[in-house]
């Protein structure tokens, strides 16, 4: 398994990864049917992230992208010290430490940035596996948005706000 920074030429493979993970469960905000990003839009998104100094990591297995982490730095003065991230890993590659490795890379990157003091994330309260990983890596629950997400079947999930000062 290789963890590396994303490149422009990864755009098509990133879309394939996104479509797969959006269809695998209820742990991500985007539903499969509403994900309609073109290769051109993905290329532009990658370019924008690079220009702004954000971090996009991919996990690659046998030349296939099976995981992705995206971290964005605060764009306004008052939140310049904060970095938000999201991560997605294809189900068959979960439970083997890949998420922890990717987050460690993120934390190392954040510590090297002179502006970042805190790394934050949002996670559905029912995603116990992810919450366990985040807590193991030093993140703490800082808040809860009740019934924040409503699924197609009418059920709800709270969303937890988690953070870690670095």
For 82-139, the DSSP string reads EEEEEEEE-GGG-SSSHHHHHHHHHHHHHHHSSS--EEEEEEETT-HHHHHHHHHTT-
Query: What CATH number should be reported for the domain whose range is 2-165?
Result: 3.40.630.30
pLDDT per residue over 43-88, tens digit each? 999 999 999 999 999 999 999 999 999 999 999 999 999 999 999 9
Q: Provide the whole-model pTM.
A: 0.94
37/25: higher pLDDT: 37
Look at residue 158 in the predicted model and tell me its pLDDT: 98
């Amino acid at each position: 398994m290789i963890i590396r920074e994303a490149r422009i030429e990864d755009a098509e493979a990133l879309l394939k990864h996104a479509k797969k993970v959006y269809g695998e469960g209820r742990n991500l905000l985007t539903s499969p049917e509403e994900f309609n990003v073109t290769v051109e839009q993905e290329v532009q998104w990658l370019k924008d992230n690079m220009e702004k100094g954000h971090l996009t990591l991919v996990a690659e297995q046998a030349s296939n992208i099976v995981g992705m982490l995206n971290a964005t730095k605060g764009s306004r003065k008052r939140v310049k010290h904060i970095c938000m991230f999201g991560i997605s890993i294809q189900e068959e590659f979960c439970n083997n430490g890949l998420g922890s490795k990717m987050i460690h890379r993120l934390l190392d990157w954040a510590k090297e940035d002179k502006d970042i003091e805190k790394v934050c994330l949002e996670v559905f309260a029912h995603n116990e596996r992810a919450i366990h990983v985040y807590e193991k890596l030093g993140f703490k629950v800082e808040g809860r948005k009740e019934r924040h997400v409503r699924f197609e079947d009418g059920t709800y999930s709270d969303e937890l706000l988690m953070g870690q000062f670095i």
